[in-house]
Amino acid sequence: MKILKAAIVLAGLLGCGFGIAWAATVPAPLPSDTVSAGRLTPGPFAVERRELTWVDESRPMASNGDFEGAATRTFAVALWAPGDAPGPHPLVVYSHGFMSNRHGGAYLAEHLAGHGYVVVSVDYPLTHYAAPGGPNANDVANQPADVSFLIDRVLALKASERPFAGEIDRDRIGLFGLSLGGLTTTLAAFDPNMRDRRVSAAISIAGPAVFFGPRFFEHADVPFLMIAGTADAMVDYEANAEPFPDLVRQGGLVTISGATHAGFSNMASGLMRVLGNPDSVGCTALMFNLDIEPGENHFEDLGNEASGYVDASNMPLPCEREFSEVMAAGHQHLITTVAVRAFFESQFARDAADREAHARFLTQTLPSELEVVSYTPTRR
């Protein structure tokens, strides 16, 4: 009985401690008197989410560890849609990061869907956290074709299968993704052999970019935004994001001071938030699953110099640096949410004046209202 009482007391103390830590890590809201805070208001449309399974029977999955491979690529799918909005709708594909899953960008997908977007995301077969044989970053080379399959599949939905009214607007198709998903997005938008020509806007959130030269971004005329944090322990800001405005022809770079890498993920606003810097947890898992050595030209199989790739043998390795002062992930989510929608609306809003207003907010108002945010336009 004494042991039981002690266990109950201990559980109570732990619960109390967790409650205090949870309350202490509630993210600070954006200042209520700002335009930025107003843009966090949920959209006018009810959001419907569907969980589906789609199979690409035209392409196989390679063997991976103790996984023998498969003749098809199977996807667990999440589809967010504005169920009560008239079409046609813009379509955006979200690509998750290494060891994440289709819900890694749920906070962004829900916000966009409430404003009239259809958003689709999947567990990529060999890079999600429960991939057969273990997550394998090298399968990113197959993910641009996965993106094209997803676009095809959404466009082919019959009226009776759609959780939304009306059609998809084929002239308003965008991509966005986090980390390895940001790399997937970049490849699907610009690589001369892997790009999908239907894509007309793209966002990389903390995506690797150190192996791209200016020539790479000349293969397509796609407006492109990079969103990155200065306290990113996994994808070094100075090597990957800072040079970005010298590479792209349309778009720019949103820098969030103190933002971490894992802090962009939906998971970082859950139980992980009481653990401090989310990159500390993320780095442990990343380095356990990522086969990477100093001095190697990582992802060199993606393309060559003629395609615009550059030698990245001297790139900083993930998790070599630690950051003590970081932004709360929830606050990071708020900033990312308004930046992502502003960029897509600056390309996809129906009215030209609306497009200009969203572009002005992203490039001028947001950085003027929040001192932790800066915007650097392309310098090409």
The tens digit of pLDDT for each residue in 102-142 reads: 999 999 999 999 999 999 999 999 999 999 999 999 999 99
Residue by residue, pLDDT tens for the chain (380 residues) are 545 444 443 334 334 333 333 333 567 899 999 999 999 999 999 999 999 999 999 999 999 999 999 999 999 999 999 988 998 999 999 999 999 999 999 999 999 999 999 999 999 999 999 999 999 999 999 999 999 999 999 999 999 999 999 999 999 999 999 999 999 999 999 999 999 999 999 999 999 999 999 999 999 999 999 999 999 999 999 999 999 999 999 999 999 999 999 999 998 776 656 567 999 989 988 888 887 777 777 778 899 999 999 998 888 999 999 998 999 999 999 999 999 999 999 999 999 999 999 999 999 999 999 999 999 999 98
pLDDT single digits (tens) 183-194: 999 999 999 999
Q: In what order do the strands lie in the sheet with 373-377?
A: 47-56, 73-82, 118-122, 89-95, 168-178, 201-205, 224-229, 251-256, 373-377
Residue 300: C-alpha distances to residues 70, 134, 149, 297, 308 (Å): 25, 22, 24, 6, 12
Q: Which residues of 235-269 are buried (b: 16+ CB within 10 A; e: fewer)?
A: bbbeebbbbbbebbebbbbbbbebbbbbbbbbbbb
Given a contact cutoff of 8 angstroms between Cβ atoms, the answer to whether 188 and 175 are in contact is: yes
CATH topology of domain 33-377: Rossmann fold (3.40.50)
Residue with tokens 């977007």: 117
The pTM is what? 0.93
The residue behind tokens 């890694």 is 104
Contact between 317 and 292 under an 8 Å Cβ cutoff? The reply is yes
Q: Where are the domains of the chain?
A: 33-377
